[in-house]
């Protein structure tokens, strides 16, 4: 039987992880963006606090399993991206999830303020960060994948056309 172009079983190049199922509302935007760009990905709940051994296994096997980039989203005392980055040399992009208590400022500062030596390139709080993390991951994949490079360019061109064609309502 012929396989579809973007097979559901294509080997994931990007891993999207998040600290809780409650983060999916935000992180689904990263998944949607990767789907649009034709980048195969996997998604998983992995908590630095609640499942530290699962995190260890995930980060330690990520490269061997063929991942090129990890996108890690978490909220509050958000250790997931930093702890993941500590255990792999793959690029780990951090997405601060908007928290209830501090609107995501806690998430942002816990992710972005890594001491020198273990980088976590950190995106904006919430949906914008999730989308931009996926675009950044796709840009990394595009360095060695002409098809993803074309899709990324098409995404940008469409976005530009949408703004160029935008009309405001009559006042």
**DSSP E strands, the chain:** 14-18, 41-45, 69-75, 92-97
User: Does residue 126 touch ligand RP5 according to CB under 6 A?
Assistant: no
**DSSP E strands, 36-160:** 41-45, 69-75, 92-97
Residue 49 DSSP one-character state: T
Return the range that interacts with ligand RP5 (CB under 6 A); candidates 52-60, 74-82, 85-93, 118-126. Answer: 74-82
User: CB 112: neighbour CB atoms within 10 A?
Assistant: 16
Residue whose tokens read 């980055």:
85
- Among 15, 76, 82, 104, which residue sits at the site for ligand RP5 (rule: CB under 6 A)? 76
Q: Which x/- pattern, by CB under 6 A, does the window 86-125 give for ligand RP5?
A: -----------x----------------------------
User: Does residue 136 touch ligand RP5 according to CB under 6 A?
Assistant: no
User: Does residue 61 touch ligand RP5 according to CB under 6 A?
Assistant: no
Return the range that interacts with ligand RP5 (CB under 6 A); candidates 16-24, 122-130, 131-139, 156-164. Answer: 16-24
**Distance, CA of 31 to CA of 43 (rounded, Å):** 8
Contacts of ligand RP5 in 29-58 (CB under 6 A): 47, 49
**Distance, CA of 1 to CA of 79 (rounded, Å):** 44
Return the range that interacts with ligand RP5 (CB under 6 A); candidates 19-27, 29-37, 52-60, 110-118. Answer: 19-27
Longest alpha-carbon distance in the chain: 59
Reduce the DSSP state of residue 17 to 3 states and report it: strand
Contacts with ligand RP5 by CB under 6 A lie at 19-20, 22-23, 47, 49, 74-76, 97
């Amino acid at each position: 039987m012929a396989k579809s172009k973007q097979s559901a079983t294509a080997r994931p190049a990007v891993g999207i992880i998040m600290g809780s199922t409650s983060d999916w509302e935000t992180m689904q935007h990263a998944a949607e963006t990767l789907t649009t760009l034709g980048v195969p990905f996997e998604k998983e709940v992995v908590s630095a606090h609640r499942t530290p051994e699962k995190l260890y296994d995930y980060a330690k096997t990520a490269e061997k399993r063929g991942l090129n980039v990890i996108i890690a989203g978490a909220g509050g005392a958000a250790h997931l991206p930093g702890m993941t980055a500590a255990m792999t040399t793959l690029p780990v992009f951090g997405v601060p999830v908007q928290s209830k208590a501090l609107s995501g400022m806690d998430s942002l500062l816990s992710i972005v303020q890594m001491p020198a030596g273990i980088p976590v390139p950190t995106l904006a709080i919430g949906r914008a960060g999730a989308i931009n993390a996926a675009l950044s991951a796709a840009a990394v994949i595009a360095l060695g994948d002409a098809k993803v490079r074309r899709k990324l360019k098409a995404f940008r061109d469409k976005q530009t056309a949408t703004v160029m064609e935008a009309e405001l309502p009559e006042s």
